[in-house]
Amino acid sequence: MNWKAYFFFTKGERRGVITLLIVASLFLLIRVLLANKLEDSSVIYAEESSISSINISENSSASIRGNAESKSFKRSGKATRRSEKTDEIVEINSADTTTFKKLRGIGSGYARMIVNYREKLGGFYSSKQLLEVYKFPAETYEKIKKQLSVDTTLIKKINVNTATVKELKAHPYISYYQALSIVENRDLAPGMRYNCLYDMVVDEDLREEDILRVAPYFSFK
């Protein structure tokens, strides 16, 4: 048997074999490269996932800490505002808005209205006059009334023998017609003047209760 005949390749066959070997080598090389690339991609994805998880965890922790700090700050602010309230006695004819706000139940709005009303009156002669402030709560007054004092010497009085209609009617307790009546009766005769409250009661526009209510604000100089 001639074994050489079995292993003898023509020139064309040798080229074919070489081409097949080259193709097979390239195929193997491509598979190896793809396998390495997929492995690298998996590693990168795993690392990115790990980093993302860490970032999410850190952000969540920061958010929780921020919320806790915010709540703590709010509680601290409320505690501070509560601690600013006082049990001290407040003289209502000299107190400013800051002092009034130290009383329980009185904020900036009511503090301003109390001071404005006091200016219109000329001062308070009774702490109960706070109830005349627009929508001032009776329950708030009941809570703070024992802390209120009134210095009536600070009241600004109106001289009824020299005051004009405009000056008189500016007072919350005196209407325009009452102011006009006071001035007209006073000026009926030259040198006529009021000497006491009861000189004013004779006027039909001035009832006794009206005069008594405004009496602390009148002077008869």
- Band (pLDDT 50/70/90 cuts) for residue 30 is confident
Say yes or no to pLDDT of 70 above 60.
Answer: no
What is the C-alpha to C-alpha distance for residues 93 and 86, in angstroms, rounded to an integer? 18
What is the C-alpha to C-alpha distance for residues 112 and 35, in angstroms, rounded to an integer? 81
pLDDT for the residue 48: 54
pLDDT in tens, 5-23: 545 556 666 677 677 777 7
What is the C-alpha to C-alpha distance for residues 91 and 113, in angstroms, rounded to an integer? 16
pTM for this predicted structure = 0.62
Say yes or no to pLDDT of 132 above 50.
Answer: yes
**Number of other CB atoms surrounding residue 130 within 10 Å:** 23
- Averaged pLDDT score across all residues of the chain: 80
> Which residues, in sequence order, are bridge partners of residue 218?
158
Lookup result for tokens 């405004």: 214
In percent, the amount of the chain with pLDDT more than 90 equals 48
Say yes or no to pLDDT of 52 above 70.
Answer: no
pLDDT in tens, 200-211: 876 677 788 888
Both tokens of 101, joined, read 């706000």
Lookup result for tokens 């209205």: 113
Return the half-sphere exposure (C-beta side, CA atoms, 13 A cut-off) of residue 111. 16
